[in-house]
Amino acid sequence: MTVMKVSAPKINQHIATSLERFSQNGGEKISNYVNAAGKAVIAPFVIMNNPFTHKDEKDREWASVKQPVEAVITLAMQLAALSVLYKSVDSLIKRGKISFKSIENAAKDASLIPEKFLKACNNNKDQALKMYKAQCNEILKDRLGAVVSMFTYVPVLAVSNRVFPKIAQKLVNKDENKSDK
């Protein structure tokens, strides 16, 4: 039997590379997906199996059902809001209503284009400038997206507090009806 040794630096490098890719492709939408997945999967499990609670199983079941319902509502509302925001920002950028001083300066003086864009585009200044502008646009949308997601939190809770009892009542009572039979 052979034991395969994996060195810690290789594992750490893989983790670091994965996190870097995630952060580059991430943004507010990815953050919302991760948050919703945690709420929908991990939170109910923790609530139902919490050894430190003195709540009865009925109360824990009720609380654990709320998490996935709230996750779905949160995801739907925030992604809808982000979609509208991103389309609006793209439209404003196309019409020239939003511009970046750093892009304007780099268009006038190519030495201001960051080196990483020039390297990625084999020193093609027009392509590098387009890539630079695209990254600035994505950063702007992501930052505005974080603000929009924050402001949708209260409406999400309001909707969730109205919808959740109806759904939970059906789910919890449905289970009771099965056990009564």
Interval 117-141: pLDDT, tens:
889 889 899 999 999 998 899 888 8
19 located within any domain: no
pTM (2 d.p.): 0.66
The better pLDDT of the pair 147, 171 is held by: 147
35 located within any domain: yes
108 located within any domain: yes
pLDDT at 23: 60
20 located within any domain: no
10 located within any domain: no
Closest of 133, 124, 74 to residue 102, by C-alpha: 133
**Per-residue pLDDT band at 99 (split at 50, 70, 90):** confident
Interval 5-20: pLDDT, tens:
545 567 777 777 766 6
Range of the domain at 81: 28-180
Say how many domains are in the chain.
Answer: 1
Q: Interior CA angle at 53 toward 71 and 167, to 5°?
A: 35
pLDDT at 181: 45
**One-letter amino acid of 17:** T
